[in-house]
Copies of this chain bind each other. A is one copy, B any other.
Amino acid sequence: MGKCLIFCAADFDGLAEEIQKDDYILAADGGLVHVEGLGLTPHGILGDFDSLGYVPQGSAVFPVEKDDTDAMLAVRKGLEKGYKEFLLYGSLDGPRLDHTVANFQTLQYLCDHGAYGYLIGKDTVVTVVKNGTLRFPATAEGIVSVFCMGCAARGVTLEGLQYPLVGGTLTAGFPLGVSNHFIGQEAVISVTEGSLLVLFDRKNGLPVRG
């Protein structure tokens, strides 16, 4: 099964990943501009269209006064279709910091519903890993920051990084895992109980999950 690609309104400097035939493409409100710019045909267009400013033909229109962000609407649609891996392009680097925070929590929503996702910005990728592992190849470079997401994250292990950790606990009340560094080894980030918010350079591509 392919991936669910969700295009949001913020900039992301083009696609780095190849789109496969069985990928499912959704435009979230203003993200339709990116989809059209890339010459893609979306399988769905969702939103309240307050940022796009018009309602495109064949789109699923939701009221402005709703509990879901446009990104959440698209995530729900992808989960309904059974997708497990979500790439949210243009979900960082927007003018609204609160939308970025909402998208962090959307990553947690995916993990709480048996899936996972990546927020893809211009230079940065953000993901959440819950009771699991991320593996980065030895070619990974730059900074990787690891934060507790939600309740305390226990059994946190960081291997192959400048500042290793074995079975540690991270909480939302102290940013111990900020500004770690790849060091030319395979890097493993894992948590046995709880979730981690992980930020890294987009040029490293996406990690292997286990």
Distance to closest chain B CB from A92 (angstroms): 7
In the bound complex, what is the Cα–Cα distance between A26 and B138 (angstroms)?
40
Cβ B101 vs Cβ A147 within 8 A: yes
In the bound complex, what is the Cα–Cα distance between A117 and B151 (angstroms)?
21
Over the window 170-210 of chain A, the binary record of Cβ atoms lying under 8 Å from chain B Cβ atoms (1 yes, 0 no) is 01111110110000000000000001010100000000000
Q: Which of B97, B175, B195 contacts A69 (CB 8 A)?
A: B175
Cβ B150 vs Cβ A109 within 8 A: no
Distance to closest chain B CB from A57 (angstroms): 26
Q: Which of A97, A103, A149 has the most CB of B within 10 A?
A: A97
Given contacts A150-B150, A163-B65, A178-B69, contact A173 B101 (CB under 8 A): no
Cβ A150 vs Cβ B175 within 8 A: no
In the bound complex, what is the Cα–Cα distance between A48 and B163 (angstroms)?
17
Judge whether A105 is part of the interface by a CB distance below 8 angstroms.
yes
Interface of A is mostly: mixed
Judge whether A112 is part of the interface by a CB distance below 8 angstroms.
yes
Which residues of the partner chain B approach A67 to less than 8 Å between Cβ atoms?
A: 176
Cβ A174 vs Cβ B97 within 8 A: no
Count of residues in A whose CB is under 8 Å from the partner chain: 44
Judge whether A100 is part of the interface by a CB distance below 8 angstroms.
yes
Judge whether A127 is part of the interface by a CB distance below 8 angstroms.
no
Which residues of the partner chain B approach A143 to less than 8 Å between Cβ atoms?
A: 96, 98
Distance to closest chain B CB from A180 (angstroms): 10
Distance to closest chain B CB from A101 (angstroms): 6
Cβ A97 vs Cβ B109 within 8 A: no
Which residues of the partner chain B approach A103 to less than 8 Å between Cβ atoms?
A: 175
Shortest 6 CB-CB contacts between residues of A and residues of B: A98-B145, A150-B172, A102-B175, A102-B178, A151-B151, A105-B175
